[in-house]
Amino acid sequence: MPDSISRALLTWYDDHKRILPWRDISNPYATWVSETMLQQTRVETVLSYYKRFLTVFPTVEALAAAEEAEVLKLWEGLGYYSRARNLHAGARQVVEEFGGVIPHTTEELSKIKGIGPYTAGAIASIAYGVPVPAVDGNVIRVVSRLRGIRENVGVPSVRRELEKAAAELVPGDRPGDFNQALMDLGSGVCVPGTPDCAACPLREMCCAFEEGDPEELPQLPRKTPPKPLDYDVCLIVQDGRVLMRQRTETMLNGLWVYPMVEGHHSVKGLPAQVKKATGLTVTAIQDAGEARHVFTHQIWNMHLYIMQADAGAARTGWQFVTLDEMHALTIPTAMKAAKACAEKLLGRA
Ligand code: SF4
């Protein structure tokens, strides 16, 4: 049965595969970059980032030699910045510990910073033709339906069963194509909710199709909803420059933000909060609207304010930047509305 599944899927893939710049190449570094970018991110979004990244850093050595700020700037807007930091650290590790050669085996690949079991399987199978699975959310969905795995896939023993089932499906011939075919099937046919079974090449071999309940699978662990957090974001201007700082917190580490005061405050109450956060005395506060950004675990409900800083120095860590300097910094998408507001302010300063 695994043989007929792989044959049917590969035949379908040959006719239906998406033409993507990271396909049909034999370059483990490019596979690593593309698979890292594709985590939690849509193919359409990744396309331009991937091309730009490989133009600036065409080899693992070029990436290893780069400054982290350069890597983050290229990643700006793609989100989940720890992926970029890990990719950069991993490239340095490959140069230092593996002589610049990306390893072939999943065991060695898994020793590299940022390469988890999925990425290790993807690199080994796609770039080196090693018959190992690459189990991501799409593959979990397809395999649980195909094999009728009805228990919660968040339970470790069920997850192991699913990984074993996925491994058994991978053919010795064209394992990379097979894994990519599964990914394509999961993202275009065997989609979350109601799959398009009529268009599926595996219909005759699928347990969930036979049982008539594919939309019930997979059984996923219940997600904790993201926590809503309120912030006042303060655009503090002085002599044509705006106040920013580089984050040192784990979340958005290394990215630049405007002052954020926890909670929502009145225009009257805000100066005391700003003083506490930055050491600056502010005046002429104006309401600049609202913004919202949804992360996986948090929702930032932001109220934006524009204000002037009186003379005096901001506390260590804060820095007034010009418009040009601001454009050279990596600013997270969560600050998009605040950045647009700062651009308007500095543009006319
Ligand atoms: Fe998914 Fe339907 Fe194909 Fe089964 S038949 S693998 S449920 S699309």
What pTM does this model have? 0.88
Nearest residue by C-alpha to atom 1 in ligand 1: 190
Q: Which atom of ligand 1 is nearest to the CA of 145?
A: 7
Please state, in angstroms and rounded to a whole number, the distance separating the CA atoms of residues 118 and 114: 11
pLDDT at 24: 86
CA atoms of 233 and 274, how far apart (whole Å): 10
Query: pLDDT at position 311, please?
Result: 72
Please give the distance, rounded to the nearest whole angstrom, from the Cα atom of residue 152 to the centre of ligand 1: 18
Distances (CA, A) of 51 to 21, 75, 79, 341: 8, 12, 17, 30
139 lines ligand 1 (CB under 6 A): no
* CA of 192 relative to ligand 1 center, distance in Å: 11
Distance 200 CA to ligand 1 centre (A): 6
Q: What is the pLDDT of residue 349?
A: 53
pLDDT tens for the 349 residues of the chain, in order: 678 999 999 999 999 999 999 998 889 999 999 999 999 899 999 999 999 999 999 999 999 999 999 999 999 999 999 999 999 999 999 999 999 999 999 999 999 999 999 999 999 999 999 999 999 999 999 999 999 999 999 999 999 999 999 999 999 999 999 999 999 999 999 999 999 999 999 999 999 999 999 999 999 998 899 999 999 999 999 999 999 999 999 999 999 999 999 999 999 999 999 999 999 999 999 999 999 999 989 999 999 999 999 877 889 999 999 999 999 999 999 999 999 999 999 986 5
**Active site annotation includes 35:** yes
Query: Does any ligand 1 atom lie closer than 6 A to the CB of residue 140?
Result: no
Distance CA 131, CA 285 (A): 62
State if residue 209 touches ligand 1 by the CB under 6 angstroms criterion.
yes
Q: What is the CA radius of gyration of the chain?
A: 24
User: How far is the C-alpha of 123 from the C-alpha of 106, rounded, in Å?
Assistant: 8
111 lines ligand 1 (CB under 6 A): no
Mutation test of ligand 1: which of 194, 200, 210, 217 has the most ligand atoms closer than 8 Å to its C-beta? 200
For tokens 């260590």, the residue is: 316
Tell me the sheet residues that pair with 319: 244
